[in-house]
Structure 1
Amino acid sequence: MSRGRRSLLKLALAGAGAATAPLGGAAPCGRPGPALQPAYGTEGQRKADLGNGMFINPIVPGDHPDPTILKDGDDYYMTFSSFYSYPGAVIWHSRDLVNWAPVCAALTRPIGSVWAMDLVKHGGRYFLYIPADDRIFVIHADNIRGPWSAPVDLRLQGCIDPGHAVGEDGKRYLFFNGVRRIALADDGLSTVGALEHVYHPWRYPEDWVVEMFAPEGPKLFRRGEWFYLVAAVGGTSGPPTSHMVTVARSRSIHGPWQDCPGTPIVRTRSADEPWWSRGHASIVEGPGGDWWMIYHAYENGFRTLGRQTILEPIEWTSDGWFRARGGTLDKPLRKPKGGRASPAGQALSDDFSSNRFGVQWSFFAPGPEEMRRARYDGKGLVIKGKGSSPADCSPLTCIVGDRDYEVSVVLDIAEGGQGGLLLYYSQRGYCGIGFSPTEMFTHHYSEEQRWMRQKIAARTIHIRLANRANIITFHYSSDGVAWTRHPWQMEVSGFHHNVFGGFMSLKVGIYSAGAGEVRARQFTYRGLKPA
């Protein structure tokens, strides 16, 4: 930072003691992409169901990538990559494919960064096949809401994106990136034989602008006499036109596989479209017999939200193939036939009177016994300190799905403790403000700006954050009445995978560092309509 800019910010800090107007944030930036017009539900959060028989994507806003969906009678269940967040592998429920709400977390103990799972039901039992840190695990349950078993290591390395399939002979298989396959034992808890390459994926023209070839995400289903293999190529990030959905079919699980003449059936063709890098699809029959495709995509101009979950109609053709019918998804679509009403989303405001770990809150990259850091004491959630800053403290995080929003929290900070409110991507990417009982700390560019430390009595501190089109404004108060605006408004549009790696999103975080404890109280969330 230049000496002149640092001097100006020091002058701003010196005058920061005056109370300011209620939180409003910076003027919104120009939006680079087409303006989708979502509906707004609980706490102003965006929602898919427009209430008139139509819906608008995303069906699950915010960072919910690599969707895997299970139709179980009249119910649908879905889960997503949860990466380093624990409790993780949060399972969501719907009865109409549009309105989704979380019901439980299947993973409670860390096994690494969790990517692209497959949720299946076989023989009356539920299975979740999980790639994590170059291994493949499986957990199982007799009731999808749990309890789920401890993870079983299938002792496979170099594999990601499992796709479970049952052959015409009733035998079980897992397909992986590549596209490769291995047989499973009848109980689904161990492998049989060797990993083998079974399909040469379709390749796009060399002049297409993509990230890399990367054949991945094989999902299989059977309809009539055909097995269908739905996969992705092109890379999940990189240029907006990277990811795509490919289709092949065979009369046998053993092949040979033939490519669909219309492949790819989904592809972002222009950076002007509202959804970028559309891919990693699963196909599912709707409640009224129509068919749908669920996949992920980045929202144009808002990679910070991560890859969001998209629903698109498909139609079957007379030659036994299917094609996508949603276009660029810039307009509302008619809801699936025959669906029944079910809850959508969840309130994110939390008085910390009950345990919402795994449906709202999770620790980032926790240790094996991390959950013991937190306890409810009747006044709030008390989090024991860890590390010395947001970079090494495993903050408590919450996924958000709105482009614009406000959050606030009250923190009681014990002697030796430090706590604050963050926008957090990973240890390498975060910003926010924090407090000890005697000082204020400013975090930006993924480190503390030590020259901005300020003496403030803060045993109890109210903190508010506004995000308007990736421009962040912080306020703080000792009593929740008179608010002071922090002098540094932070721009965070670069906090995403193409900059920091990891495939994640920018989440709201509460951190507790140092030798003391931090009690979190009165967390509030409000989605804001884009200006």
Structure 2
Amino acid sequence: MTTFVNPVLSGDRPDPAVIKVGDEYWMTYSSFEAAPGLPLYRSTDLVNWTYVTAALPNPVGNTFAVDIAEHDGRFFIYIPFIPTPWSTLTDASIFVIHADAMSGPWSEPIDLGIRGVIDPGHVVGEDGTRYLFTSGVRRIQLADDGLSTVGELEQVYDGWRYPDDWITEGYSLEGPKLFWRDSYLYLVSAVGGTGGPPTGHMVIVARSQSVHGPWENHPGNPIARTLDAAEPWWSRGHATLVPGPAGTPDDLWWMVSHGYENGYRTLGRQILLEPIRWGEDDWPEAAVRDIGGPLPAPVGAAAQTPQADIEDDFSQLELGSRWTFHAPGPDEAERVRIEDGLVLRGKGASPADTSPLAMLTGDHAYEIEVDVEVEPGLEAGVLLFFNNRLFCGMGIDGERMLSYSGGIRTHWREPAPASNRITLRLRNDEQIVTGWYRVPGGEWTRHAIRYETSGYHANVVGDLLSLRPALYAAGAGEARFRDFRYRALR
């Protein structure tokens, strides 16, 4: 019997949205302040996922939880954007992009004029009318082409209320995902808050025989929740339910959700998969209680493949599939080109405002290494980057080495040689971070200071991101990065 172990897609990939198209599944997730945004992955078995493209080269704002829909042979992604210092938005705003195929090309974002809500969920009512449900849970009608709205938002569902003594972050009714099964329309949503205490986030279900209600709450709510902080996965929620691959029994579906790994909030919310059984009363129920160990895989699933180590000579730029800019300005991609390595034009005055190039990781222990060369007046280097307030790492400016911890430059003056070219290495070994450096042809020297980074996570700085390897260049001029390596240690 083939088994799999969660996560099925590691690293910070919150709020998964999944659609089944024929025999394939497509998925994306909240990409927040990353550009390109909305990476699209494809799978035939829900366990092994392959990157295909990024649907959103130039985000309008901070990209929150989306929904993917197919209607009359056309595909739509409904996107909530949140204002950021680099966007022109002034309120949470829902947009849409569309394409003839999930592989794209995707249109430019179209503003639907919906303000003050997030987490759109698309559904077609029993009369053929299209709707978006949003956080709250509110609803608005869509035009037949899905590219504009009709009327105003209206409150349609107040949620299921958990006992007041449960330890949660806050009620936060959000993430509505809707689907028809037989004669019922099911509404899957999340309550309890996505961060905060490990026992907060949860998955609840309601159903109706009409898109207009009334809604009946599942008598067994919540269908998924972390009951105890000793469990391997925390804050489980924001779920999508989908039928299994061909050959799956009718009473078995699968649920894709997100959660924090116990002890590793620094990795962000990772993608979880678990079986769902349909009871004789037509309610979905979790088929297993513990999703932390090996689970039977969906019908026909291939063996789970681990993330491969990376050796990147920068002969081509892997934007979207590997690297994304954090907090990008307009035309951020113009800062980078391939020429004897990756050339990155400087921006800002320190790592905090450089829009670094970052990559996701889900490993507990890993090393990153890269050769860095700087022009006069420029500082560049390698970081473990959470956001502009929280990062650690080191860089060079041709005269000295600069060290960072806790999002600030430290007072330590590392006795590294003055050089405009040096190879830097960071090792994150279960949240203990050590650095090394060497000049061309020289020996490795360990940086004198180590950092403990278990607190580099969302509950510390109130930002739902993760600690990511990153390359940065600050100031005037350009930096050249060569021979990047990423190696999982175990």
Which of 406, 410, 434 aligns to 2:395? It is 434
Q: Which one-letter code corresponds to 1:457 in the other structure?
A: A
- Structure 2 CA distance, aligned partners of 1:279 and 1:271? 15
Aligned equivalent of 1:302: 264
Aligned equivalent of 2:179: 221
Aligned equivalent of 1:19: none
C-alpha change, 1:395 and 1:97, in structure 2 (3 Å) is same
Q: Flag the structure with more relative contact order, 1 or 2, with Cα contacts below 8 A and sequence separation at least 6.
A: 1
Write out per-residue CA displacement over residues 182-236 of structure 1, whole angstroms, 9 at most, x where no aligned residue. Answer: 0111111111111001111001000000000000001001100000000010000
- Structure 2 CA distance, aligned partners of 1:525 and 1:176? 39
Q: Which one-letter code corresponds to 1:104 in the other structure?
A: T
1:66 aligns with 2:7: no
1:198 aligns with 2:134: no
Aligned equivalent of 1:255: 213
Matches within 5 A, 1:106-145: 106-133=55-82, 134-145=92-103
Q: Secondary structure at the match of 2:266?
A: helix
Matches within 5 A, 1:169-180: 169-180=127-138
- Structure 2 CA distance, aligned partners of 1:422 and 1:462? 13
Runs (5+) with no aligned partner, structure 2? 83-91
- Structure 1 CA distance, aligned partners of 2:192 and 2:449? 39
Which of 113, 135, 155 aligns to 1:155? It is 113
Deviation at 1:119, TM superposition (A): 1.4
Aligned equivalent of 2:369: 408
Write out per-residue CA displacement over residues 271-302 of structure 1, whole angstroms, 9 at most, x where no aligned residue. Answer: 00000000000000111333100000000000
Deviation at 1:109, TM superposition (A): 1.1
Matches within 5 A, 1:126-525: 126-133=75-82, 134-287=92-245, 288-289=247-248, 290-339=252-301, 348-377=310-339, 379-452=340-413, 454=415, 456-479=417-440, 482-525=443-486
- Structure 2 CA distance, aligned partners of 1:345 and 1:93? 16
- Structure 1 CA distance, aligned partners of 2:336 and 2:66? 28
- Percentage of matched positions with identical amino acids: 52
C-alpha change, 1:171 and 1:326, in structure 2 (3 Å) is same
Over the aligned positions, Cα root-mean-square deviation in angstroms equals 1.4
Q: Which one-letter code corresponds to 2:281 in the other structure?
A: D
Q: Secondary structure at the match of 2:63?
A: coil
Does the aligned pair in 1 maintain the 2:10–2:361 contact within 8 Å? yes
Q: Secondary structure at the match of 2:206?
A: strand
Q: Which one-letter code corresponds to 1:359 in the other structure?
A: S
Does the aligned pair in 2 maintain the 1:419–1:435 contact within 8 Å? yes
Aligned equivalent of 1:80: 29
- Structure 2 CA distance, aligned partners of 1:273 and 1:200? 29
Does the aligned pair in 2 maintain the 1:166–1:173 contact within 8 Å? yes
Mean CA deviation greater in 471-480 or 188-197: 471-480
Mean CA deviation greater in 122-131 or 292-301: 122-131
Q: Which one-letter code corresponds to 2:221 in the other structure?
A: T
Which of 76, 98, 119 aligns to 2:47? It is 98
Q: Secondary structure at the match of 2:113?
A: coil
- Structure 1 CA distance, aligned partners of 2:46 and 2:416? 52
Runs (5+) with no aligned partner, structure 1? 1-51
Does the aligned pair in 1 maintain the 2:2–2:303 contact within 8 Å? no
Q: Secondary structure at the match of 2:459?
A: helix
Q: Which one-letter code corresponds to 2:14 in the other structure?
A: P
Structure number with the higher strand fraction is 2
Q: Secondary structure at the match of 2:235?
A: strand
Write out per-residue CA displacement over residues 474-529 of structure 1, whole angstroms, 9 at most, x where no aligned residue. Answer: 00011265100001100111111101112110110000111111111111111121
Q: TM-score, normalised by structure 1?
A: 0.88
Deviation at 1:414, TM superposition (A): 1.5
- Structure 2 CA distance, aligned partners of 1:342 and 1:469? 23
Q: Which one-letter code corresponds to 2:70 in the other structure?
A: K
Q: Which one-letter code corresponds to 1:58 in the other structure?
A: P
Does the aligned pair in 1 maintain the 2:414–2:448 contact within 8 Å? no
Mean CA deviation greater in 138-147 or 430-439: 138-147
C-alpha change, 1:217 and 1:55, in structure 2 (3 Å) is same
Deviation at 1:330, TM superposition (A): 2.5
Does the aligned pair in 1 maintain the 2:3–2:303 contact within 8 Å? no
Q: TM-score, normalised by structure 2?
A: 0.95
Q: Which one-letter code corresponds to 1:143 in the other structure?
A: A
C-alpha change, 1:474 and 1:453, in structure 2 (3 Å) is closer
How many residues align? The count is 477
- Structure 2 CA distance, aligned partners of 1:452 and 1:54? 50
Q: Secondary structure at the match of 1:154?
A: strand
Does the aligned pair in 1 maintain the 2:403–2:412 contact within 8 Å? no
1:528 aligns with 2:489: yes
Q: Secondary structure at the match of 2:344?
A: strand
